[in-house]
Structure 1
Amino acid sequence: MGSSNSDYVLYQYTPNLVCAVIFVALFALTTTFHLYQRIRTCAKYFNPFIVGGIFQIIGYAARAVSHFHTTSTTLYAMQTLLILLAPTLYAASIYMVLGRVITFLHGDHLSYVPVRYMTKIFVFGDVLSFILQGAGGGVMSSGSGSAKALVAGQWIIVAGLCVQLVFFGAFLITSMLFHYRIVRSPTHQSENLIDIGGLIPRDWRGLLFALYTVSVLILVRSIYRVIEFTQGNSGYVISNEVFLYVFDSAMMFLVMLVMNVFHPSIVLRIDQRLGTTESKSELPRGETV
């Protein structure tokens, strides 16, 4: 391959070809379905989510090729960076969904964080995390595989992951507090938009629980990544590939699958039975559909 090679040990194992190919296929399936849902519902706020899925596909494809080229720093940086950054893109869409839910239910007064600033605040943290993690990956790839560059890049990535943890934790608390307050003091819209059928409510309550689920999955994954990078390239976690597939690959696939099953457009775009539709006036100020 026409990629740079390194005498420094990039992997403590040979990347598993079968697992990488399986996740290329899984992410391709769920991303394709998300693209279909995006086109069908015009949910522009889910564009970052779809790009995250594309990152995963390319990242695991690069990882599959790395099975045959374990010394390629180009492939190593590509798969590390794309798989690492994908959840940051998921987060951007998830942040935008909460603001829309609150506005859709006319519950602005029940949110501790003003809705007009909510998306801006959380997406700012997301962008900062993205930049730091991207910069860390850039340092790793520009160092031609030197130990010094890899270590420096890993610590920059850790900083980005810590930013992600702080903002995601704040987002989760904000969501739960709003949920608690609107249950205690329901708005007219929230009471009229309740689906009493089925085990899992297909209304705003179900959507909030879906957001909690994917948020916890991303938080656990980010904690795993912090542990991985703080231990260094010879640490126990990074030296055992099974951790990657259990705490990152599988969890991020579940994130995409959960949002396939409970796509926000089910609640935010239209509820046929109740005859309720989303209009631009119901969006958080400064945002479009």
Structure 2
Amino acid sequence: MDLQEMIMQNMKDNCKKKCELPERKELLSYLHGMLLITGRLDIMYCNAFLSEATQLLINSIFLYEDGYFDCAFYSVRQASEVFDSMLYLSNKDNGELKKWEKKERFPMDSKIRNQLEKMVYGYKEIKTILDDYFMHHRELINKSHKIIHKQGFDTFYVARLQKNFAHEKDEKFFMEVLKYTIGTGIILFVILEPIALALADDAVNGKLNFDMGKINQYQILQLLNCLDKIADSSTWQLKNHSPYIHNLKKQLELYPECKLSVEELAQNQWIKNKYKQKEWYLKWSRKSN
């Protein structure tokens, strides 16, 4: 290696604190297997958004480990915004998608999130149930903005070389932002494609006659269990959250005399849907006669 190459290599490595994140293998394996795909013909373009958001989350892990900590936080924030834009566009006409594609005027992420509550069925319901989850995710993203926009000397690259820099605390914070963003992305995907949870469960697949546009209690329970697994080492604790969640878990899991098996849940849902179909048929018959 000649002198010029040595100087360039030193420039690349300067002020970079490399590391190996805890749970990196587990998270990378999870993201590798996290195949978020919609089969809806009207919104097939959403698969590009889902793929991009997942790749951004993967990139963030390697960026952080290579010392590009600010870029890592930015990559996570980008993933969060891509998920939001996807759900927003999936509920708008093709004209809005064309505007987005042509890079014309498009609402900021904060406005998109406000619009989602008004225009997307299930979003407000799920957000109300998981209010503190959404709120904490937003707090984490807002806190990461300080790092992205370099507010405070501790956000500078040179600060990370100091002996008193709290590397473990910073790594823990990054992992929490990452996990909550993964969880939020899955929530938005479930709102986009509610049947995905049923199809992912062999015990339920083919037994539940899901309404494609609605979320039921079984799906919410699956979603909560999924969030529990992702945020295993973060501040997310199911029992400390909204009374609705606590009561749902209490009914479905904690008390044997109240616990409904997957088969019972499936059967109840099947009977409920059959009753609705029969009711609709009777009304239709009366009108025809």
TM exceeds 0.5? no
Q: TM-score, normalised by structure 2?
A: 0.36
User: 1 or 2 for the larger relative contact order (CA 8 Å, sep ≥6)?
Assistant: 1
- Structure with greater Cα Rg: 2
